[in-house]
Amino acid sequence: MSDNALTPGIVAGRLDPQHLAENFTDLHPALDDHEALVAADRCYFCHDAPCITACPTDIDIPLFIRQIATGTPEAAARTILSQNILGGMCARVCPTETLCEEACVREAAEGKPVLIGRLQRYATDTLIAQGVHPFTRAAPTGRRIAVVGAGPAGLACAHRLAMHGHDVTLYDGRAKPGGLNEFGIAAYKSTDSFAAREVDWLMQIGGITLETGKRLGREVSLAGLREDFDAVFLGIGLGGVNALGLNGEDREGMRDAVDFIADLRQAGDLARLPIGRDVVVIGGGMTAVDAAVQARLLGALNVSLVYRRGRDRMNASRYEQDLATSKGVRIITNATPIAVHGNGAVREVEFEYTDDDLNPTGQRFRLAADQVFKAIGQTLEGAELPDLEGRKIAVTGAGRTSLPGVWAGGDCAAGGDDLTVTAVAQGRDAAEDIHASLTGRAS
């Protein structure tokens, strides 16, 4: 049954196509040549640059900015992509305000960092637009590696392995590759099908065979992959979604935020995407913010984001929180859901205020809602997995798991921070370790 079968408040076309197009334009428009030169000129080109240390992929940021400043953005792109093959997407979605730009000396001195993220986008976009792939494959090694999951970690791993001359088969359960970049990022952060275009560009390295519609534990098994390939890398992400555990959670109008974002990213016509009048988003991370902001951009009249702790404990950065409020999202903190009310369809969500230790205070309130998005975290799914650490795959070193010949990285692996850029780094480093292991150079 569709959402609006029992919830008349959920309708498509709340805004006309022109307003929707304006709402979903690029969050940060690309720099032009002059703007890039002006922005690059602000860099001090620090010798012991703190921005490099703050970058999970260790990009030589002063070097690539100097290359932009000297009029060679293609060289800057090669500097970036040698460390982060998904540097174009990371320039769009990385929380640079809490990574490289927060560490920038200009930020400490003036409160206005060098525009590192936008300069990275300028360089990588320049090269990708030329259709140029700056890397070539080494001589074939005859080794075959299976990479499961075509998200950031899997793509980075597959590309680096292919560069080393190995043959890679890349599996993904969805109909198209990209993972989080394609299905889980707000549409205003990745416009003009950039995520798909970046994957196509990445695949120009050669040596990578993509097989979609094949999910671990269903169409392919880990035991079978270990038998058929010289090594296996798992970049399967987190496919499950945590439940609220409340009565009424199955009412019409209740949805997982990740599904909403995926539907929006794949929608050919945003005017046909149904959205509620009164929307409540439960959670405090990037998924929650992306869902809440996009609900507003689709025309929801009232959008409330409710988180059980204080704003300083939200996983979404302060920048993202401020972005949400600037779009009209109301953020309510220190409140936890206790009941979902309605007759077949959700009509209200009841919350109770909590203290900083999540103890209930006895104060309750209700929010009108015809649509509720749950964004309270995702869980690992899969059969025959290596040993776990908590609820993720346990890894040591550069992604080695408890099973010989099996590596893991990205959101499915323990110890990460669930960032695209970190997943890329883990996939790259695992590929280097796999290469060293297969060629007898492992320590």
> Cβ–Cβ contacts within 10 Å for residue 322, how many?
13
Mean pLDDT, residues 5-29 taken together: 89
Give the C-alpha separation, 199 to 182, whole Å: 10
Q: Region 367-373: what's the mean pLDDT?
A: 98
- Among 128, 299, 143, CA closest to 200: 128
Domains of the chain: residue spans and CATH: 3-25+242-376 (3.50.50.60), 33-129 (1.10.1060.10), 144-239+380-438 (3.50.50.60)
For the residues 414-426, what does the mean pLDDT come to?
94
Q: Which residues of 188-221 are buried (b: 16+ CB within 10 A; e: fewer)?
A: bbbeeebbeebbebbbebebbebeeeebbbeebe
Both tokens of 128, joined, read: 């990708």
Sign of CA dihedral 385, 387, 391, 392: negative
Confidence of residue 356 (pLDDT cuts 50, 70, 90): confident
Give the model's pLDDT for residue 442: 56
With a pLDDT cut of 90, the percent of the chain lying above it is 93
Amino acid at site 383:
A
Burial class (CB in 10 A: 0-12, 13-18, 19+), 343: exposed
**Chain mean position to CA 283:** 16
User: Which backbone phi and psi does 275 adopt, to 5 degrees?
Assistant: -145, 150
Q: Return the minimum-mean-pLDDT range out of 389-393, 397-401, 437-441.
A: 437-441
Confidence check: pLDDT of 1 > 50: no
The residue with greater pLDDT, 5 or 279, is: 279
Helices 116-129 + 194-202 axis angle, to 10? 60
In angstroms, rounded to a whole number, what is the distance separating the alpha carbons of residues 272 and 281?
21
Higher per-residue confidence, 356 vs 423: 423
Cβ atoms of 362 and 337 within 8 Å: the answer is: no
Nearest-angstrom CA–CA distance, 430 and 416:
14
Read off the pLDDT of each residue in 404-408 and give the average, rounded to a whole number.
98
Question: Is the CB of residue 142 less than 8 Å from the CB of residue 230?
Answer: no
Q: What percent of the chain has pLDDT over 70?
A: 98
Q: Classify strands 240-241 and 378-379 as parallel, antiparallel or unpaired.
A: antiparallel
Residue 84 and residue 153 in contact, taking contact as beta carbons nearer than 8 Å: no
Assess whether pLDDT exceeds 90 at residue 186: yes
Token readout for 367 is: 């929010």
Amino acid at 373: F
* Measured distance CA(350)–CA(308) in Å, rounded: 13
Closest CA to 168 of 156, 179, 180, 178: 156
Q: Which amino acid is at 240?
A: G
Mean pLDDT is lowest, of 27-31, 139-143, 333-337, 426-430, for 27-31
Integer CA distances (angstroms), 406 to 216, 400, 401, in order: 14, 6, 6
Residue 367 has pLDDT above 80, yes or no: yes
Strands (E), 271-355: 278-282, 302-306, 330-332, 335-341, 348-354
Model confidence at 231, pLDDT cuts 50, 70, 90, reads very high
DSSP assignment string, 62-120: HHHHHHHHTT-HHHHHHHHHTT-TTHHHHHHHS-GGGTHHHH-HHHHHHS----HHHHH
Closest residue by Cα to residue 91 from 216, 229, 190 = 190
Q: Which residues are 354's β-sheet partners?
A: 360
Q: How far is CA 415 from CA 153, 409, 418, in A?
A: 14, 10, 9
Note whether 163 and 205 are within 8 A (CB). Answer: yes
Contact assessment for residue 150 and residue 178, using Cβ atoms and an 8 Å cutoff? yes
**pLDDT range class, residue 4, cuts 50, 70, 90:** very low
**pLDDT (average), residues 164-174:** 98
Phi then psi for residue 104, to 5 deg, are -60, 135
Q: In whole angstroms, give the CA distance from residue 176 to residue 180.
A: 11
pLDDT tier, 5 (very low <50, low <70, confident <90, very high otherwise): very low
Confidence of residue 185 (pLDDT cuts 50, 70, 90): very high
Q: Which residue has the tokens 């997995």?
A: 385
Tokens of 4: 């609006």
Q: What is the mean pLDDT of the chain?
A: 95
Q: Would residue 105 be called left, alpha or beta, if left means φ above 0 and alpha means ψ between -120 and 50 degrees? A: alpha
Segment 50-100, tens digit of pLDDT? 999 999 999 999 999 999 999 999 999 999 999 999 999 999 999 999 999
Cite the DSSP H helix spans in 343-410.
none
Please check whether residue 292 is in contact with residue 305, taking contact to mean a CB–CB distance below 8 angstroms.
yes
Helix, strand counts (H, E) of the chain: 18, 17
